[in-house]
Amino acid sequence: MKEQHISISVIKRLPRYYRFLGELKKQGFTRISSGELAGRMNLTASQIRQDLNCFRGFGQQGYGYNIEMLYDGIGEILGIDKPTSAIMLGVGKLGVVVAENMNFQKYGFNLVGAFDVDEEVIGKEVAGIKVLSLDELEAFCSEHKPKAAFMCVPSAAAPELSERLIGLGVTGFWNFSHYDIGIKHPEVSVENVHFGDTLMRLSYKVKNS
Amino acid sequence: MKEQHISISVIKRLPRYYRFLGELKKQGFTRISSGELAGRMNLTASQIRQDLNCFRGFGQQGYGYNIEMLYDGIGEILGIDKPTSAIMLGVGKLGVVVAENMNFQKYGFNLVGAFDVDEEVIGKEVAGIKVLSLDELEAFCSEHKPKAAFMCVPSAAAPELSERLIGLGVTGFWNFSHYDIGIKHPEVSVENVHFGDTLMRLSYKVKNS
């Protein structure tokens, strides 16, 4: 896929296209028009054509998009074909659920390590990986060079730990803690999963709809 | 707090203000200027003044905002002071972690019921609530009238179940499944927690930063 400029707002929407196209592929569809895809995704055909403008090689006027090529092309843009090495920090209840139930490969990551401070947890296996002590973080990172960290630690532990990880070469954070890593470090990439924030938005919507 | 028009983009940002102000309150601060708050939140003072324009009664030129009044005012807008009754659908591993570790009250909800189809799970307690069979959903809803549903079920179960819940008066969904409830039902409120989508965005960012 040729490098082309794609705006950040389109990038934000690509995972959703990717999911829908994956479903269509699984159901055996091979081509889809922008109008049909629009109906399924609750968008307009012109939005879709605009968003997928850079993939126009995969669409032919009147014939629709080739689903598999579009799916693979979006996957390539998102970097899913070249998984990023990641480590999990904090293997408490949330960490275990996430590690054991997410197919990281499917989303562009390889989980290569897991760390905790709790002696009860260290040495146990999670998703086929032995949980290491946080004391082993430096040695592990210098050997395996993970680029991403999944932060399943309490918010209080996040500031110091994120500093340490950035020092060890981590450039991307999947952040479940309520600490905003990006404020001190705008140079790193962060995706937050803030349960509380989404609940508060829902609270507003339910009361004002 | 008087009713005033607040744009949806400001609403989206309010939970983050609410979190920061809650922290400041906890640390014993009573007033903060837009400039100081901007520094802590990595925004500009003028963004903050624009966003919090409708709370201007709580700020005084040169004296900053009264933190407690601003915090309470935002909480009121978000409806946190008047909790919405909610039920959890699907009490598997994810459901248990969410139910037992989230302080729903803090985010505007009361968890009043939990449902599953698994005989192993039905009858057990989660977060102090006895898990009921999905067969009891109709009777429960007609008695307790929950307005929100936390969807921790597999995606395959989500389409039928969301139809059923909408028929029973549920108007808001906190959705962990990968099914897009809002497409068929634009009239209901949905907040999605799509782990996979956030991971794919992170994958893109890590590879393109």
Domain ranges of chain A: 8-78, 84-197
Give phi and psi for A149, each to the nearest 5.
-130, 130
* pLDDT at residue A6 in the model: 79
**Tens of pLDDT, residues A56-111:** 666 666 778 899 999 999 999 999 999 999 999 999 999 999 999 899 999 999 99
For every residue of chain A, DSSP letters joined together read -------HHHHHHHHHHHHHHHHHHHTT--EE-HHHHHHHHTS-HHHHHHHTGGGGGGEETTTEEEHHHHHHHHHHHHTTTSPEEEEEE--SHHHHHHHHH--GGGGTEEEEEEEES-TTTTT-EETTEEEEEGGGHHHHHHHH---EEEE-S-GGGHHHHHHHHHHTT--EEEE-SSS-HHHH-TTSEEEE--HHHHHHHHHHHHHH-
Assess if CATH 3.90.1300.10 describes domain A84-197.
Answer: no
- Mean predicted confidence (pLDDT) in A183-197: 93
Convert the pLDDT of each residue in B126-161 to its tens digit. Answer: 999 999 999 999 999 999 999 999 999 999 999 999
**Mutant choice from A11, A204, A208 vs B, greatest count of B C-beta within 10 A:** A204
Pick the CATH number of B8-78 from 1.20.120.80, 3.10.20.600, 1.10.3720.10, 1.10.10.10: 1.10.10.10
Least CB-CB distance to B191: which of A82, A94, A198? A198
| B162-175 pLDDT per residue, tens | 999 999 999 999 99
Number of inter-chain CB pairs under 8 A, A vs B: 181
* Residue that wins the pLDDT comparison between A36 and B2: A36
CB contact under 8 A, B192 and A203: no
What chain B residue is nearest to A149 in terms of C-alpha separation? B202
pTM for this prediction:
0.88
**Which chain B residue shows the shortest CA-CA distance from A39?**
B183
The CA distance from B107 to B25, in Å, is 17
In chain A, which residues have their Cβ closer than 8 Å to the Cβ of B193? 193, 195, 198
CB atoms A106 and B196 under 8 Å? yes
Q: Look at A45-59, A183-197, B19-33 and tell me which has the smallest mean pLDDT.
A: A45-59
pLDDT value, residue B2: 47
Instruction: Answer yes or no: do A206 and B100 touch at CB < 8 A.
Output: no
Instruction: Inspect the interface and report whether the beta carbons of B207 and A79 lie closer than 8 Å.
Output: yes
B87 to chain A, closest Cα gap in Å: 13
pLDDT digits (tens, 9 = 90+) for B186-209: 999 999 998 999 999 999 999 988
- Chain A residue closest to B15 (CA)? A197
A133 CA: distance to closest CA in chain B (Å): 23
Which pLDDT band, with edges at 50, 70 and 90, does B52 fall under?
confident
pLDDT at A3 exceeding the cut of 60: no
Contact A199 B109 (CB under 8 A): yes
The CA distance from A152 to the nearest CA of chain B, in Å, is 12
pLDDT of A101 reads 87
Mean pLDDT in chain A? 92
The closest CB to that of B206, out of A11, A18, A84, belongs to: A84
Q: Which of B2-6, B71-75, B179-183 has the lowest mean pLDDT?
A: B2-6
B109 contact residues in A (CB cutoff 8 A): 199, 203
